[in-house]
Amino acid sequence: MDKKTLFAVILSVVIIVGSMVVQNIFFPAKSKTAVTAPESSALSKAAEKSKGTVPGKTEGAANTQENIAGNGSVQAATGFVEPLRENLKEKEIVVNTDYFRIVFSNKGGVIRSLKFKRYHNTDGSSVEMVLSGKSGRYPFNIHFGNYNAKDDLNTIYRYKQLSESKWEFYKKYISPSGIPFVLRKIYSFPPHEYMMQLKIKIENSINEYPDLDFNGFAYSLEFGPQIGPHYNKLDGRNEYRRFMYYAGGKKKNVRVGKNSVHIQNKRVTWTAIIGKYFTVIAVPDATPYQIVYDTKRIAGIKDRDSLFFTRPVIKSSKSTDTYKFYIGPKKRDILSLYNNPEKNYYRIADLHFEEVVSASILIGWLANIFKFLLELFHRIIPNYGVGIILLTLLIKLVLFPLTHKSYESTSKMQALSPKIEELKAKYKGKPEQLNKAMAEMYKKEGVNPLGGCLPMLLQLPVFFAFYSLLNNHFALRGAIFIPGWITDLSAPETIWNFAPFTIPMLGWQNLRLLPFIMLVSSFFQSKVSQAPGSSSGGQMGNMKMMTYAMPLIFFFILYDMPSGLLLYWTTQGILTVVQQLYINKLMKRKKDDNSGGTVSRKVKRRR
């Protein structure tokens, strides 16, 4: 595209966008709005009587910003107002269950905080699953209309506790045509369950269904704007957020770009927002909801990953929509409880929540073997760092016969380096004769030129299996190896954080010790792997590459990797050095024996 065409396209876009902005400012489109309900003295008295009777511990109302989400969409009604003019105050209700500490708010009838009682951060604080920042948005917001409509955030709901495990928030509204209805949110947190239930009830007392029809949608239920726990950044490795759904017996990853929206009309068994160690899995009822995955930026929070269920038009005077949400750890033993109706409160089966736990098709089996062995070592010595070292030693012992032959082959190849250079000089410009002569030499010396590649080929699947294990095994989260230094084997260790300063290009804000230990051991490993005189002639460049470049490359690649992975890589490097020193000693002894035998034979011939 030439410059003139590009300029014309840009100018056209500016004109179109500018005209739309001017039109929205000076000639705003008319949208459906709600009608204020007439006040009722009886209702007012009832409301006045209910003041200050909220069960549970009440905390001071948080100062939240009004959300101005939505971009001027006219697809949904806004401005539904309180039918009663009493001065209802914003309150927070603190509820404790077996697994959660929940903070409800009667402003919007949402959950402002949901913390685990059994899972903690490295600083000892409870893991928080609601990340709202300063956005003013919270899980279970209701939008009248589609997902892009303005939230119903200013409405103060009435509240009552129905039982030990049920809490209700309800509010009376008037539809755009004047039909009254009550919106109820009924939360259920059963004992000993990570799955909660939310019922959205819309009821009309005059046997007419409210005309909540905004371009085919009645309301949207949001879980967002972000799930916990807290993180520094989403790097796709140490922490991430992903969308997934399960339908027809198969899981499907939903790829949503940054600041984008993905709309899906397919019915699903469940859909999820997945983090590294925790997840939220939403199970809708049989209603044909439109599902929306939203990462569009909003004020007050850096990263957004929201999930919406948009409900079709309601065609009855009373409707109840039931949603279930698993909010918990990505542990297979817990997730698989929802495959057996005898093992969960709701008596549901075959949900296959364990599909949210990522596993490689090619090396998943190997990672599972490592996991079994690691847990076995942990039962013997309750320290996962020691377990990783023992597992690395075991792997070295199992692979020793193969790697020993390979290292011997490598050492022989390095010893033959001077002869190879002689052959190259002798048959310069004669590649066929050179290849034939080298093949004869390899056969005579009993050397396989490809034998030295085997150790690296064996290490690669082991390395990736270890990475898969250390990056997904829930038990390693917060596992301490050396107190005060390596306090979480699932995350990088740090000896000095120099933020806000950032190393240019690399983006590092932490000084880590383990990568430097790994670098030194890798240099030493490369050094001892070279036979004397092997770096002569044309081999010099290759030796420098192996000695210096490769350890440096791995240093930068692994710098921000989980400390457990670096512990494995460093341990196997040290064990490889020991093994190589042993092989070098054997090779030297064999060489001395051969040279001694040759001298004795020459003496005998002279006699």
Q: Which residue did the predictor score with more confidence, 185 or 497?
A: 185
Q: Which of 142-151, 269-278, 358-367 has the lowest mean pLDDT?
A: 358-367
Is residue 139 over pLDDT 70? yes
**505 CB-near residues (< 8 Å, 6+ apart):** none
The answer on 412 and 270 residing in a single domain is no
Question: Is position 219 within any domain?
Answer: yes
Over residues 129-138, the mean pLDDT reads: 94
The answer on 515 and 383 residing in a single domain is yes
Q: Which residue did the predictor score with more confidence, 34 or 431?
A: 431
Give 98-147 as a 3 state SS string. CCEEEEEECECCEEEEEEEEEEECCCCCEEECEECCCCCCCCCEEEECCC
Given the structure tokens 């755009």, which residue do they identify? 176
Closest CA to 288 of 273, 310, 272: 310
Given the structure tokens 């809490």, which residue do they identify? 167
3-state secondary structure of 519: helix
Given 308, 335, 356, which residue is the final one in a domain?
356
Is residue 451 over pLDDT 70? no
Question: Is position 11 within any domain?
Answer: no
Is residue 506 over pLDDT 70? yes
The answer on 154 and 279 residing in a single domain is yes
Q: How many domains does the chain have?
A: 2
Is residue 317 over pLDDT 50? yes
pLDDT level of residue 530 (50, 70, 90 thresholds): low
Question: Is position 51 within any domain?
Answer: no
Q: What does pTM read for this prediction?
A: 0.76
Average pLDDT, the chain: 79
**118 CB-near residues (< 8 Å, 6+ apart):** 99
The answer on 583 and 555 residing in a single domain is yes
| pLDDT attached to residue 29 | 39
The answer on 525 and 444 residing in a single domain is yes
The answer on 379 and 329 residing in a single domain is no
CA distance readout (Å), 349 to 121, 126, 343, 353:
32, 30, 9, 10
Question: Is position 583 within any domain?
Answer: yes
Over residues 378-392, the mean pLDDT reads: 95
Closest CA to 198 of 140, 151, 112, 155: 140
Question: Is position 36 within any domain?
Answer: no
Closest CA to 403 of 303, 245, 525: 525
Question: Is position 34 within any domain?
Answer: no
Output DSSP code: residue 342: G
Give bridge partners of residue 59 from the DSSP assignment.
92
CA gap 424, 407 in Å, rounded: 24
**47 CB-near residues (< 8 Å, 6+ apart):** 84, 86, 88, 158
| 280: CATH | 2.70.98.90
Over its C-alpha atoms, the chain yields an Rg (Å, rounded) of: 33
pLDDT level of residue 457 (50, 70, 90 thresholds): confident
Question: Is position 75 within any domain?
Answer: no
The answer on 345 and 202 residing in a single domain is yes
The answer on 303 and 428 residing in a single domain is no
CA angle, 584 as apex, 579 and 587 as ends, to 5°?
A: 125
The answer on 274 and 143 residing in a single domain is yes
| pLDDT attached to residue 594 | 64
- Which tokens sit at 208? 């007419």
Give bridge partners of residue 141 from the DSSP assignment.
222
Is residue 32 over pLDDT 70? no
The answer on 329 and 433 residing in a single domain is no
Over residues 45-73, the mean pLDDT reads: 33
Question: Is position 40 within any domain?
Answer: no
The answer on 518 and 409 residing in a single domain is yes
The answer on 368 and 257 residing in a single domain is no
Give the range of the structural domain holding residue 570, as residue numbers without chain letter.
364-601
Given 296, 322, 356, which residue is the final one in a domain?
356
CA distance readout (Å), 280 to 273, 274, 333, 356:
5, 6, 16, 10
Given 356, 389, 415, which residue is the final one in a domain?
356
| pLDDT attached to residue 72 | 31
| pLDDT attached to residue 24 | 39
pLDDT level of residue 583 (50, 70, 90 thresholds): confident
